[in-house]
Amino acid sequence: MSVISFEVIYRGIFQKSLAVKISRTLILAAVKEGKPGISFGRYSDSPERNGIPAKQFGYIADNEEELETVAAQYEPKQVDISICVDDTLCKGVESWAWYGLQPINAVTKPGGTLIVTSNQKEDDLVQHIHRRETPYKLAIIPGEASFAGLWVYKDDGTDARCLAAALKAEPTMCSIASLESAIRENIGSETHVEAAREVYEDLRPVEIEPGQGNDEVPFTFELLKWHEMRQGVVIDGVGGHEGFRGGEGGYEPGRNPYFKKWSTRTMRPVVSFEKCTKCTLCWVACPDTCFDVTPDGFFDANMEACCGCGVCEAICPVKDCITMVNEVVFDERDSQWQMWQENKEDYDKYMDEKITTGKIDGRHPITGLAGAFSGIGLETGHNPETAKIKPLKDL
């Protein structure tokens, strides 16, 4: 087998326990068969920030010497398996330690497998994932982004299902029996074991061909040489402001052109300009100054800068004027006000469609974030009537 490497890409803090559990349990399953492994979080993601993308890594080897050979490189440059536990991350990953916005499949090996928990179909989801020159496999585990890692929420079995999917992708890691035994010991219930077994039997990864997917060029930046950098740990400030989209009227604050922040977003505000009374509260309350003032005095949430916190929706006094919508249903980051200006009828249709398909239920009561807080009904098993997510068997 030699060495298998994997990563778990997750939302900081909210999914940390989940990611750690997946990473550790996979190693512990292999350890049962005498294979050594290591599991670790990306050091520079720590201390994690709410919702900001972060990574866990793991190696499983046949023997200690093999393990040392790969572990000598602290952070894997390529992995056999990438596990992504929030499908909104498929648009790109920008950690707070700032490595730039990276494609979700940036370190997935040619021919490796990207496992995503999502309610999207492969064809839709792949539109979000940056295209690349080498093929890889995409495997979807049906489900919303899980916040099961937060202890206050019901466990939805995402951990066990991701483990089974990983084993399916790289079956040489260990036997399904060892995995089941590790799940029993480290996660807990027979329901989890059952959920894992279902995924192991039913998961059908699809091949993604070179060139398939999002054609946006991944953001790159130059790492300056020491003598090219400014002295005194000084960096240029982001100053000034200009009119809306560089025009005469309105107001756009100066923003860092390199650090976009939008990859932190799991949902975005959709604004009904027909209902807006221009009360300014969203513009005042936004903690990221993401609302641009339009020449006619509306407030347009800038989709490059919005973190998706939902404060604007909470503070807006007009019913249904600002609605938070699941980020995964959007394929663009265009100006909503401009869309509305161009064709008000089309914009209303766009808005209705997005709100219908991406309306978020079961929001986190404190953070307001999206996620499968109600779980998929493990307590009642995979009952299609109580579970919001279809069991894999029914797909």
> The tokens 């084993």 sit on which residue?
167
206 binds another protein (CB under 8 A): no
Q: Specify the amino acid at residue 229.
A: M
42/247 Cα distance (integer angstroms): 42
Q: How many angstroms separate the CA atoms of 380 and 389, rounded?
A: 13
Question: Shortest approach of another protein to residue 43 CB, angstroms?
Answer: 8
**By C-beta, is 75 or 190 nearer to another protein?**
75
Q: Tell me the torsion sign for CA atoms 123, 125, 131, 135.
A: negative
Q: Is 366 in the site for another protein (CB under 8 A)?
A: no
Closer CB to another protein, residue 46 or residue 383? 46
Give least dist CB 237 to another protein, A: 3
Query: Which position has the token pair 């978020």?
Result: 360
Stretch of residues binding another protein (CB under 8 A), selected from 125-133, 153-161, 163-171, 222-230 = 222-230
229/284 with CB nearer another protein: 229
CA 163 to chain centre: 18
**Pick from 259, 264, 256, 243: nearest CA to 310:** 264
Of 2, 33, 44, 381, which lies in the binding site for another protein, with binding defined by CB under 8 A?
44
Figure out which of the listed residues 65, 220, 231, 317 binds another protein, where binding follows CB under 8 A. 231
Q: How far is the CB of 223 from another protein (least distance, A)?
A: 6
Rounded Cα distance, 61 and 26, in Å: 12
Residue 47 binds another protein (CB under 8 A) = no
Task: Find the shortest distance in angstroms from Cβ 226 to another protein.
Answer: 4
CA distance linking residue 111 with residue 113, whole number of Å: 7
Binding-site string for another protein from residue 103 to residue 132, where x marks contact by CB under 8 A and - marks none: ------------------------------
Q: Taking CB under 8 A as the rule, does residue 227 contact another protein?
A: yes
Residue 141 neighbours by CB under 8 Å, 6+ apart: 115, 116, 117, 118, 158, 161, 162, 165, 199, 203, 392
Site for another protein (CB under 8 A): which residue of 239, 257, 287, 317? 239
Contact positions vs another protein (CB under 8 A): 44, 97-99, 223-227, 229-240
